[in-house]
C-alpha cells in the first residue's frame, strides 16, 4: 500500500518562480470525487496517469495513494468521461534543502489560486519553509483539487 504524506500551503507572491528548476503543464479531471475516494486522470506534458486516493487521516496530512502511468491517448479519452470542470494548472518544482515543493498555479475558473505542497517521509518531519509560503491549508478540503473542480476559486466568497 502506498501512502502520501504532505503539507499544503497558500503562496503569497511569485517569488517561487525564480527558484523553480522545472515546470509542467497539467490538465486533470475526476472520474470520482467522493470524499472517501477519488479517481483522477492527469496529463502532465507528454505523460498521463490514473491515480486513486483514499480519505485523509484526521490531520489531513496522510492518505492512501496509488498511481499508474497510462497511455496519453487513453487519458485524453478518459478526461471526456470525467466530472465537469477539468483543472488546468502549471506545476513548478522548487528544491528547498532536501525537499521539493510543488507549486501549482491554476488557470480558468481557478485563476488566482496558487498552492504549494511538500511531500514528507513522516508527519513529524521538519522542513524549511521558504519566504513565499503563506497560510497552511493542510487538511482543508476546500483546497483539494477534487474540491476546486466542483467549486472553483472564482465562486469563493
Phi and psi angles of residue 136, each rounded to the nearest 5 degrees, phi first: -80, 135
Residue 80 grid cell: 471526456
**Which residues are CB-contacts of 128 (< 8 A; sequence separation ≥ 6)?**
96, 97, 99
DSSP secondary structure, 100-140, as one string: EEEEEEE-GGGTT-EEEEEE-SSTT------TTEEEE-TT-
- Catalytic residue chosen out of the listed positions 21, 30, 92, 144: 30
**Quick one: which H or E segment has residue 74?**
helix 72-79
Residue 16 grid cell: 517561487
> Catalytic residue at 49?
no
Catalytic positions: 30
Amino acid at each position: 500500500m502506498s501512502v502520501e504524506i504532505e503539507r499544503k500551503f497558500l503562496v503569497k507572491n511569485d517569488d517561487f518562480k525564480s527558484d523553480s528548476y522545472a515546470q509542467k503543464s497539467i490538465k486533470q479531471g475526476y472520474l470520482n470525487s467522493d470524499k472517501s475516494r477519488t479517481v483522477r486522470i492527469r496529463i502532465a506534458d507528454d505523460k498521463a496517469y490514473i491515480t486513486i486516493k483514499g480519505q485523509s487521516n484526521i490531520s489531513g496530512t496522510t492518505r492512501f495513494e496509488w498511481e499508474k502511468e497510462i497511455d496519453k491517448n487513453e487519458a485524453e479519452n478518459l478526461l471526456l468521461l470525467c466530472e465537469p470542470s477539468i483543472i488546468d494548472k502549471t506545476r513548478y518544482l522548487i528544491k528547498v534543502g532536501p525537499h521539493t515543493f510543488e507549486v501549482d498555479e491554476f488557470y480558468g475558473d481557478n485563476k488566482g489560486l496558487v498552492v504549494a505542497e511538500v511531500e514528507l517521509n513522516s508527519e513529524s518531519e521538519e522542513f524549511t519553509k521558504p519566504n513565499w509560503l503563506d497560510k497552511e491549508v493542510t487538511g482543508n478540503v476546500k483546497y483539494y483539487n477534487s474540491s476546486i473542480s466542483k467549486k472553483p476559486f472564482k465562486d469563493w466568497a
